[in-house]
Amino acid sequence: MSEQREDIGISHSKSEFSEWFSEVIAKAELSDLRYNVKGFVVFRPWSVLAMEEMYRLLEKELRRKGHLPVWFPAVIPEENFEKEAEHVEGFTPEVFWVTHAGNKKLEKRLALRPTSETAMYSMYSIWIRSWRDLPLKLYQRAQVWRYETKATRPFIRSREFHWIEAHDAFATLEEAEAQVREDMDTTEKVMHQQFGVPFIFMKRPEWDKFAGAVYTYAADSLMPDGRIIQQPSTHLLGQNFSKPFGVKFRDKEGKERFAWQTCYGPAVSRIFASVIALHGDDRGLRFPFSIAPVQVVIVPIASDRSKEVMKACRKVMELLLEKDVRVLLDDSENTPGWKFNQWEMKGVPIRLEIGPKEAEGGFATLVRRDSGEKKKVSLEKLVETVKKEGESITSNLVNEADAFFRRNMRKASNWEELEKEISKGGFVRAPFCSTGIEGVPCAEKIKEKLHGDVRGERADRKERPSKGERCVSCGKPAGAIVYIGRQY
Amino acid sequence: MSEQREDIGISHSKSEFSEWFSEVIAKAELSDLRYNVKGFVVFRPWSVLAMEEMYRLLEKELRRKGHLPVWFPAVIPEENFEKEAEHVEGFTPEVFWVTHAGNKKLEKRLALRPTSETAMYSMYSIWIRSWRDLPLKLYQRAQVWRYETKATRPFIRSREFHWIEAHDAFATLEEAEAQVREDMDTTEKVMHQQFGVPFIFMKRPEWDKFAGAVYTYAADSLMPDGRIIQQPSTHLLGQNFSKPFGVKFRDKEGKERFAWQTCYGPAVSRIFASVIALHGDDRGLRFPFSIAPVQVVIVPIASDRSKEVMKACRKVMELLLEKDVRVLLDDSENTPGWKFNQWEMKGVPIRLEIGPKEAEGGFATLVRRDSGEKKKVSLEKLVETVKKEGESITSNLVNEADAFFRRNMRKASNWEELEKEISKGGFVRAPFCSTGIEGVPCAEKIKEKLHGDVRGERADRKERPSKGERCVSCGKPAGAIVYIGRQY
């Protein structure tokens, strides 16, 4: 037993986060870095099954809010790409180019989409004619490719990632701004409440907006090492794209107007990094019940794999399958102890142990992955109890992640405090001169001396500096309250 | 009303198949050809919603048969690609190449995957170590890119398509051959029984195999114009890839052996072409209930959109939503007649009409898209009836497609008969000299003079020429019974 344990167990404590993260990814078989193109990884079944559930829940919420799915080509002609000046400037260094087909050079080279504004809006200009065609709310599930120059890490940052991008067009600025708020609500309902990833939406400073946006709201979350990771962002594009792309409509009075646009991009493979990191513990993964690849594992406890025990196991499996619970019966030849460790490491939320006593008595012993709590459950109440415990596991993980997040909210009112607080990790709330372009020197000083990033002002509530508060960087009167931290 | 009808109706009869197909695609808003890269199309919500259901049903069957999902990179380094000689020769003319990133030339150019053998098997050689790791059955849902030189048509043939590819590895040849049969069964269970697309699996002649395969079984279906369209194919790869890629395992005796491999590729976007084409009629699309984007449309019949009628409509919608029926209440300001035409054109299987009589009497009038049949249904029996009628619609469409398929099975025993029969469309069963490489001249003659293609021998049953039968092309004693027809 103990030899087997070592073989499959996680050897690093989660407090050594970076090593722990790499080890969990390898041992739980989430992804494989050995594919022979730098920055590209292979996603293995144990992560894909969970990410498919994440896609399902995100798409369900987007559909509920009136979005419909589309599939756009993965390639974008350079001429589209160049239409919006800031966009092309921002993305050009990161674009992979397709230049040849077979032995022929292509007449015009094609960008592998790094994001799809310039693909989709060329069609929006055809589809949108009148106010009756608005709002247009479309999303696609897609891969995007970006030639990242920063160090890549599976799930966190790679040159290919899996996301959803929603692109919406409206008749008025007010509706577009309401969409930005709706995207924030979607992030809360799905990423926080169902995946257990807490965040604050920050309004990014001018120098850190999405290329081509009027403004960018980005959900910043925290990793266990206290570093900030950017999760979904939603952008008010205003008319910055509708003008060069000619996305126009006739209003009720017959007058031609440019549409108002927004886009929103939850990166499923990146959110999964937060799911692994926030919920895992020293023994490995802990999945929220909602997205677990396997929600319940049944482990027979019988040295001789007796017929009675196996029969009881199969009966329990049928009961759960009937109610669409994702269940697995581990009838392999490994010992029960080995199976316990294996499925704990893989993060399965609920284990059902069934031995001769359980088989005879018509019950199962339920063990929770999150708390280790054990209880006997009669077969009559099995499905109901599994679902109830499942919900309770999800909300327990959400609460634990929230508590961690709250513990890492700090404050600083001057440079010395900032220096001290920032080294502890998390968010440091601080007065700052300006989030406009004139704030750049102050942000650069913080970056250079403290390796900290000015993430912006809160987008979910209004915060203003009190009278007398001064910029932590330059000491001039503060124009904004910002959040600063070290980022991924 | 009649003006509105003309506006949205289909003007071509299905007997003018090519024009009808283009018109349905445009008017039902299935895809859009106006994207500015040749051979690439945009898939719009009405097709994506159906194709998502098709993916779901295909993946469910693959999972049931022990496959697990993976996501591999979209790019493949040239060195992988070159490992299997026939494969590289077959695919090189069709590969799109990524050569640059940002302003940099890449050290090694990358193929956009035209298919993923050479991406996946490089990892299989790492993952597979012992007989315990076998069978390995993985699939991915992905886009692939091929620089087609033939004319492209949406869904039928384009330079980007959406498919599933399953790649399996086994310890023995017998298991691999059993997998090929399992793939045929999957095609029958899903594409035929659920999507209503009939086919015959043909064993492709030597000159028409998948590049790198030992043999290829391909499901040939028919379009309404009598032309043959290739649908999913499954390939026995034998050890042709496991040797160059080093996919090896230790057997129970500790001896190192090469794995036996298969692959299977249902192209969802192409199967959808058959769904449109086979089931549609002069009024537009007819969806099988199983994959319809909207299964039931509710149309209120009330000139004044009275409260009572709208209340009854909403109640019916709730009843159906609760049971996971995909339902839409059309409460737009269009006339009922316009709505009937619109949703018939879009292929919604069931229409529920609710007017003052229905609202008062607690029933709905159900109209079937396939047959036009009308009946009154009480609210108590509504869900049950909708599900029953839905199944009946699917099986009716399957039966109609099967009957069309059977009507287009022909026979020829000499050149004159072949010439006559081939012009009628469909499959012509004929004696042929050889499906080995020595049959090429005879196949070329048929191609050149009759525009016919030798599709191969049946893979689902053994057929041998009778004594005295002679090749329809050269007149030598026949070595095989083949099927010939004009193909897409």
Tens digits of residue pLDDT in B176-220: 999 999 999 999 999 999 999 999 999 999 999 999 999 999 999
pLDDT of residue A401: 98
Reading the block at residue B314, the tokens are: 């909403």
| CA separation for the pair B351, B373 (Å, rounded) | 11
Contact between residue A326 and residue A296 where contact means Cβ atoms under 8 Å apart: yes
* pLDDT-derived band at B6, boundaries 50, 70, 90: very low
* CB–CB contact B34 A123 (8 Å): yes
- A49 at interface of B, judged by CB pairs closer than 8 A: yes
Residue A211, min C-alpha distance to chain B (Å): 16
pLDDT of residue B306: 84
The order of strands in the sheet holding B260-265 is B68-69, B136-145, B160-170, B260-265, B228-238, B215-222, B200-203, B453-458, B480-485, B427-432, B409-411
* pLDDT-derived band at B3, boundaries 50, 70, 90: very low
* CB–CB contact A74 B143 (8 Å): yes
Residue B119, min C-alpha distance to chain A (Å): 8
Of B123, B147, B160, the CB nearest to A35: B123
Residues of chain A falling short of pLDDT 50: 1-6
Q: What is the percentage of chain B residues whose pLDDT exceeds 90? A: 93
- A40 at interface of B, judged by CB pairs closer than 8 A: yes
Question: Cα A212 to the chain's mean position, in Å?
Answer: 23
pLDDT of residue B70: 98
- A229 at interface of B, judged by CB pairs closer than 8 A: no
| CA separation for the pair A429, A480 (Å, rounded) | 10
* CB–CB contact A98 B96 (8 Å): yes
* CB–CB contact A32 B123 (8 Å): yes
- B321 at interface of A, judged by CB pairs closer than 8 A: no
pLDDT of residue A6: 47
Chain A partners of B63 at a C-beta cutoff of 8 Å?
A: none
- B101 at interface of A, judged by CB pairs closer than 8 A: yes
Contact between residue B454 and residue B482 where contact means Cβ atoms under 8 Å apart: yes
* CB–CB contact A95 B77 (8 Å): no
Residue partners of B341: CB distance under 8 A and separation at least 6:
B4, B5, B8, B9, B283
- B93 at interface of A, judged by CB pairs closer than 8 A: yes
- A112 at interface of B, judged by CB pairs closer than 8 A: yes
Q: In terms of CA atoms, which chain A residue is nearest residue B67?
A: A45
* CB–CB contact A75 B40 (8 Å): yes
pLDDT of residue B4: 45
pLDDT of residue A84: 86
- A33 at interface of B, judged by CB pairs closer than 8 A: no
* CB–CB contact A69 B92 (8 Å): no
Mean of the per-residue pLDDT values of chain A: 96
- A93 at interface of B, judged by CB pairs closer than 8 A: yes
Q: In terms of CA atoms, which chain B residue is nearest residue A332?
A: B132
Q: What does the pLDDT average to over B469-476?
A: 97
Chain B, 448 to 467: residues with Cβ < 8 Å from chain A are: none
| CA separation for the pair A424, A413 (Å, rounded) | 16
Residue A43 pairs with which residues in a beta bridge?
A: A31, B71
Chain B, 230 to 289: residues with Cβ < 8 Å from chain A are: none
pLDDT of residue B2: 38
At B118-176, the pLDDT tens digits run 999 999 999 999 999 999 999 999 999 999 988 899 999 999 999 999 999 999 999 99
Chain A partners of B97 at a C-beta cutoff of 8 Å?
A: 98-101
Compute the CA torsion angle A451, A457, A459, A463 (nearest 10 deg).
140
Neighbours of B150 (CB within 10 A): 9
Positions of E strands within A119-206? 136-145, 160-170, 200-203
Backbone angles phi, psi at A359, to 5 degrees: -60, -45
pLDDT at B393 over 50: yes
Chain A partners of B102 at a C-beta cutoff of 8 Å?
A: 92-95, 147
Task: With residue A81 as reference, give the H or E element that holds it.
Answer: helix A78-81
- B34 at interface of A, judged by CB pairs closer than 8 A: yes
Q: Is the pTM of this model over 0.80?
A: yes
Of B42, B70, B100, the CB nearest to A45: B70
| CA separation for the pair A48, A52 (Å, rounded) | 6
CA gyration radius for chain B? 25
Reading the block at residue B302, the tokens are: 């009330």
| Domains of chain B from N-terminus onward | 11-279 (3.30.930.10), 296-389 (3.40.50.800), 409-485 (3.30.110.30)
- A332 at interface of B, judged by CB pairs closer than 8 A: no
* pLDDT-derived band at B330, boundaries 50, 70, 90: very high
Per the rule left: phi > 0, alpha: psi between -120 and 50, beta: everything else, A328 is beta
Residue B391, min C-alpha distance to chain A (Å): 21
Q: In terms of CA atoms, which chain A residue is nearest residue B126?
A: A34
| CA separation for the pair B277, B287 (Å, rounded) | 11
pLDDT of residue B176: 98
pLDDT at B302 over 90: no
CA max distance for chain B: 81
Q: What is the percentage of chain B residues whose pLDDT exceeds 70? A: 98
pLDDT of residue A303: 67
pLDDT of residue B304: 64
Neighbours of A451 (CB within 10 A): 12
At B331-380, the pLDDT tens digits run 998 999 999 999 999 999 999 999 999 999 999 999 999 999 999 999 99
pLDDT of residue A86: 87
* pLDDT-derived band at B81, boundaries 50, 70, 90: confident
Chain A, 115 to 174: residues with Cβ < 8 Å from chain B are: 119, 122-123, 126-127, 138, 143, 145, 147, 160, 162
3-class SS shares of chain B: helix, strand, coil, % to 5: 40, 25, 35
Mean of the per-residue pLDDT values of chain B: 96
